[in-house]
Amino acid sequence: MTASSVQTPDDVTRAQAAADFLLSKTRLRPQIALVLGSGLGAYADSLQDAVKIPYHEIPGFVRSTAVGHAGMMVVGTAKGVPVATMQGRMHFYEGHSMRDVTFPMRVFGRMGCKAAILTNAAGGINLKYGQGALVALSDHINLQGTNPLIGANDERFGPRFPDMTRAYWKPYREMTLAAGKELGIEVHQGVYAAVSGPSYETPAEIRFLRTIGADLVGMSTVPEAIVAAHMGIRVLAISCVTNMAAGILDQPLNHEEVLETGRRVQGQFLALLESVIPQIAADVA
C-alpha cells in the first residue's frame, strides 16, 4: 500500500477517539466545557474529584506553548457539576492550524458537553473598562483572516452554514450579569475583536477597532465560539481586561502584566464561575 492510499481518520473519528480516551480516565460525564485563558488557569486547581491529563497524552491534541497556559485537561466537579476544563488553550499564532486550535471543542462535543464557558485575557478598547474588568461577550468581530469551518463540512458536526446570531447565548450572559450584581462584582458586556497576533496591535489599529465597534481585542476565543455554534453548543464567554490596548495609556504592553492582572482578579473570577456554573448545568440537564 502506498502512502498516498492510506486513509487518515476523519475529524469525527479523531474527536470521538479523544473523547473516549478522556472519559476512560474518569467516572464523571462532563456537562460543561471550560477553556481558561492567560492568567486564569488556576481555577482548574479548585475543582473537586479532579483528574489531570497533559495535552500531549490526549490523542489528536497539539501542545500549547503560550506562557501562562499549563497545557492540561482537568476533569472534575465545580459546585457538584461535572466539567471538562482546559488549563490553557491552543492559539493560531503558535503556528497551529485552525483545525488543531478548535479540535478540543470538537472533543467536548463528542464527550456530551452542551455548554461551554470560554475565558480569555483581552486588551481593553472601551474607555469605560479599567484594568481587571470582567466583560461578558455579546458578539465578536473575526479579523483573524480565516475561519475554522473552511473546507469540507461534516454534517455529523453541524450544518454547512451555521447561524452566528446567537453565538454567545444571551440567557447565560444575563445569568452572569445578575450573578455579578449579587456578588458585588461589576460585569460589563462587550464586543470582542479577534486578531491573529502574536504582536500586539498598533495604536492606529486600536483606533480602527474602536471605530468598527470593538470593545476588546484578543487572539483567541472566536474560533472556539464558531465551532461551538456549529455543533449547537451554547457559549458563555468572559474576558478579563488584563491591559488597556495600545495607545490608550502611555506605556508599553507586555505579557507579564497580562498574567499578573489575571492573578489579581482570580477571586472575583472564581466566585463568578461558581455562581453561574450550576445555573448553566440546570439549563442543559
| Domain CATH for 23 | 3.40.50.1580
213 pLDDT higher than 60: yes
Query: What's residue 8's pLDDT?
Result: 62
Read off the pLDDT of residues 107-161 as tens digits, 9 standing for 90 and up: 999 999 999 999 998 999 999 998 889 999 999 999 999 999 999 999 999 999 9
In one-letter notation, the amino acid at residue 197 is G
Q: Which of 63-77, 161-175, 213-227 bottoms out in mean pLDDT, i.e. has the lowest?
A: 63-77
- Which is nearest to 168 in space by CA: 108, 95, 116? 116
pLDDT at site 7: 53
In this prediction, residue 231 has a pLDDT band, given cuts at 50, 70 and 90, of very high
- Average pLDDT, stretch 185-209? 95
> Which residue range forms the structural domain that includes residue 115?
8-284
Dihedral, CA of residue 254, residue 35, residue 170 and residue 16, to nearest 10: 140
Residue 3 lies in a domain: no
pTM of the model: 0.92
Whether 133 and 188 have beta carbons less than 8 Å apart is answered as yes
Predicted local distance difference test score (pLDDT) of residue 260: 73
> Is 38 a residue of the active site?
yes
94: in domain: yes
pLDDT number for residue 244: 74
Share of residues in the chain with pLDDT > 70 (%): 89
Among 33, 38, 120, 230, which one carries the catalytic annotation? 38
Q: What is the spatial distance between Cα 259 and Cα 38, in angstroms, rounded to a whole number?
A: 6
pLDDT at position 35 is: 96
Least confident of 57-66, 183-192, 196-205, 252-261: 252-261
Smallest Cα–Cα separation from 58: which of 20, 30, 27, 18? 18
Domain annotation covers residue 2: no
Q: Residue 5 — very low, low, confident or very high, per pLDDT cuts 50/70/90?
A: very low
pLDDT at 88 over 60: yes
Q: 152 lies in a domain? A: yes
Active site residue 94: yes
Ordered DSSP codes for 48-80: EEEEEEEGGGSTTPPPP-STT---EEEEEEETT
268 in any annotated domain? yes
Active-site residue flag, 255: yes
**Does the annotation count 219 as an active-site position?**
yes
Given 220, 224, 245, 281, the catalytic residue:
220
Element holding 241 (H helix, E strand): strand 234-244
CA 67/CA 72 separation, integer angstroms: 13
Please check the confidence at residue 250 and state whether its pLDDT lies above 90. Answer: no
Q: Which three cell numbers stand for residue 175?
A: 445569568
Question: In angstroms, how far is CA 199 from the centroid of its own chain?
Answer: 20
pLDDT band at 24 (very low <50, low <70, confident <90, very high): very high
56 is catalytic: no
Note whether residue 231 is domain-resident. yes
**How many CB atoms lie under 10 A from the CB of residue 155?**
8
Other Cβ atoms within 10 Å of 109 Cβ, number? 25
Give the mean pLDDT of 86-109: 95
Question: Which carries the bigger pLDDT value, residue 32 or residue 242?
Answer: 32
Domains in the chain, number: 1
